[in-house]
């Protein structure tokens, strides 16, 4: 123990001496450079001491790829939205400019939706310009609404999110909104539709039940008058902000809360057996060479024999039939085949090669094959519906509508369970005889009138009811 302690003390002393001597020597013999010498140090250095970069473009690719990855991660799958009932936009343009300069969330918002703008033709777009946003406005039409002031709607679309905005249609009445949404869904089946606005007491879910309302915070006093609808559950999270100007509606910030299917679940490895002609011949030869009497002799009952034979058949299938593993993702389309994956990879390789002609050909080939795959899949669904098979019909309908059967939930009613048990067990014979069934009170709608009693006679035999007779009567009635 003592030698070790002495050695550690010596090492500590040597280390302290080294750390003390180095700064002293550096101060005794200082090395200084002037500004011109530092600027001219590359020219005065020999060539054999300068580093050579053979692949200088690799660093640039890494930097560009890293920047693209960070931008992709910062970009949400759905747009962030600000929604508010302004009650006049013209007198709040200065406050909007201030928010765009000071509030990062407001500046990075993909869309700003303002209702009750109270705009008219005398107010120019230049007076409502917001830096970095594209203005789309619609004023209230007096002929269709019958009102001379109020109303109006406008959108500010962030140019960093989208630069190609197209107005499909303008409607003046709320009654046509459901029909317009249905028409848009049919025209653009792969699009994601977001319905925004000041609905007051109206609810879109009454006309379109599949749409869900995402604003849960009060927007005016204790009422939720501003709504946001999508077909996805938990697509947005609503956060209330301070109102703009003297508006009586608060500003609602809609933050995307939806996670893509690819990120919400891990990919699944699916194993598929490849039934080729050679595999069928090998399996048939294996069964022909099997002595099945061995299983009959070793089994004691029919259940054991069945389990043993089925296990042996499964073992032979695993040995003779080759298998292949497929990696499936939960967002894969049913018509996306292995051929399309190869064409997609060929398109990516052509883009990286820099050959424009090859890339153009690969792009058109992939688009053509995608259309063919969709047509083939639609034909497959039509065949399932045209078959005289209810299972295929329901399978096709579930695939078209993306219907998922809800999980069964038990009925938490003990009285109902007791009544059902009493009803179905009323004819069971017990040791004391038959157990009569008494109807519950809620099943009796009218008071029962007793039948006139028949005086018993000496020659009248006692009435006997057998279980077999009751079963016969019930089977005939059914």
DSSP state string for 245-305: TT-SS-EEEEEE----HHHHS--EEEEEE---HHHHHHHHHHHHT--THHHHHH-SSHHHH
Residue 136's φ and ψ, nearest 5 degrees, are -130, 120
Which CATH number is 73-258 given? 3.60.10.10
Chain centroid to Cα 226, Å, comes to 24
Q: How confident is the model at residue 170 (pLDDT cuts 50, 70, 90)?
A: confident
pLDDT of residue 145: 66
Gyration radius from the chain CA atoms: 40
123-150 burial: b if 16+ Cβ within 10 Å, else e: beeeebebeebbeebbebeeeeeeeeee
- The three-state secondary structure class of 429 is strand
Number of residues assigned to the chain: 478
- Give the Cα separation of 90 and 128 in Å (integer): 7
| Cβ(320)–Cβ(262) below 8 Å | no
Mean pLDDT taken over the chain: 77
Backbone angles phi, psi at 282, to 5 degrees: -65, -40
Confidence band of 251 (pLDDT split at 50, 70, 90):
very high
- Contact by Cβ (8 Å): 157, 165: yes
170 and 137 Cβ atoms separated by less than 8 Å: no
Beta bridge partners of residue 154, listed in sequence order: 114, 137
CA angle 19, 20, 21 (to 5 degrees): 95
50-81 b/e (C-beta count within 10 Å ≥ 16 → b): eeeeeeeeeeeeeeeeeeeeeeeeeeeebbbb
Q: Which residue has the tokens 């869904």?
A: 185
Listing from the earlier edge strand, what are the strands of the sheet with 212-213? 195-198, 226-230, 212-213
Q: What is the pLDDT of residues 187-238, one digit of tens each?
A: 888 788 999 999 888 888 888 888 999 999 999 989 999 999 999 888 899 9
262-293 residue pLDDT tens: 677 788 888 888 889 999 999 999 999 999 98
Tell me the pLDDT band of 458, cut-offs 50, 70 and 90: very low
Confidence at 437, pLDDT banded by 50, 70, 90: very low
Tokens of 401: 């509508």
Q: CA 107, CA 100: separation in Å to the nearest integer?
A: 5
SS3 of residue 81 by DSSP? strand
| pLDDT tens, residue by residue, 85-125 | 999 998 898 899 999 888 989 998 999 999 999 988 888 88
224 or 416: whose pLDDT is higher?
224
Domain-by-domain residue ranges, the chain? Answer: 73-258, 260-328, 333-385
Mention every residue, 6+ apart, whose C-beta is less than 8 A from residue 232: 192, 212, 258
């Amino acid at each position: 123990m003592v030698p070790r302690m002495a050695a550690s003390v010596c090492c500590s002393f040597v280390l302290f001496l080294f750390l003390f001597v180095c700064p002293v020597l550096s101060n005794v013999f200082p090395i200084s450079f002037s500004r011109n010498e530092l600027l001219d140090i590359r020219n005065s250095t020999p060539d054999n001491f300068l580093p050579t970069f053979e692949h200088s473009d690799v660093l640039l690719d890494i930097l560009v790829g890293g920047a693209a990855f960070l931008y992709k991660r910062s970009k949400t799958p759905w747009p962030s939205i600000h929604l508010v009932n302004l009650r006049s936009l013209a007198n709040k343009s200065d406050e909007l400019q201030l928010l765009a300069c000071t509030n990062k969330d407001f500046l990075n918002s993909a869309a700003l939706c303002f209702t009750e703008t109270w705009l008219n033709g005398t107010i120019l777009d230049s007076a409502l310009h917001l830096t970095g946003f594209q203005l789309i406005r619609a004023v209230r039409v007096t002929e269709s609404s019958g009102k001379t002031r109020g109303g109006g709607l406008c959108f500010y679309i962030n140019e960093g999110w989208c630069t190609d905005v197209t107005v499909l249609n303008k409607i003046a009445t709320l009654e046509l909104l459901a029909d317009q949404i249905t028409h848009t869904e049919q025209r653009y089946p792969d699009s994601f539709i977001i319905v925004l606005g000041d609905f007051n007491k109206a609810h879109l879910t009454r006309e379109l039940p599949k749409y869900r309302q995402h604003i849960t915070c009060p927007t005016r006093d204790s009422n939720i008058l501003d709504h946001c609808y999508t077909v996805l559950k938990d697509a947005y999270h609503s956060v209330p902000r301070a109102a703009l100007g003297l508006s009586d509606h608060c500003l609602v910030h809609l933050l995307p809360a939806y996670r893509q299917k690819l990120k919400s679940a891990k990919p699944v490895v699916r194993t598929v057996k490849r039934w080729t002609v050679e595999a069928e011949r090998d399996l048939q030869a294996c069964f022909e060479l099997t002595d099945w009497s061995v299983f009959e002799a070793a089994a004691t009952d029919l259940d054991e024999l069945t389990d043993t034979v089925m296990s042996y058949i499964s073992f032979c299938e695993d040995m003779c039939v080759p298998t292949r593993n497929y990696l499936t993702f939960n967002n894969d389309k049913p018509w996306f085949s292995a051929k399309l994956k190869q064409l997609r990879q060929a398109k990516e390789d052509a883009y990286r090669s820099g050959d424009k002609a090859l890339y153009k050909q690969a792009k058109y080939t992939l688009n053509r094959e995608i259309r063919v795959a969709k047509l083939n899949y639609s034909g497959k669904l039509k065949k399932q519906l045209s078959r005289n098979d209810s299972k295929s019909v329901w399978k096709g309908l579930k695939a078209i509508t993306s219907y998922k059967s809800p999980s069964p939930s038990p009925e938490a009613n003990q009285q109902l369970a007791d009544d059902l048990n009493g009803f179905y067990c009323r004819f069971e014979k017990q040791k004391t005889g038959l157990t009569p069934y008494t109807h519950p009170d809620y099943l009796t709608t009218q008071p029962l009138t007793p039948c006139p009693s028949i005086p018993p006679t000496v020659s009248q035999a006692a009435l006997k009811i057998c279980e077999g007779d009751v079963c016969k009567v019930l089977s005939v009635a059914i």
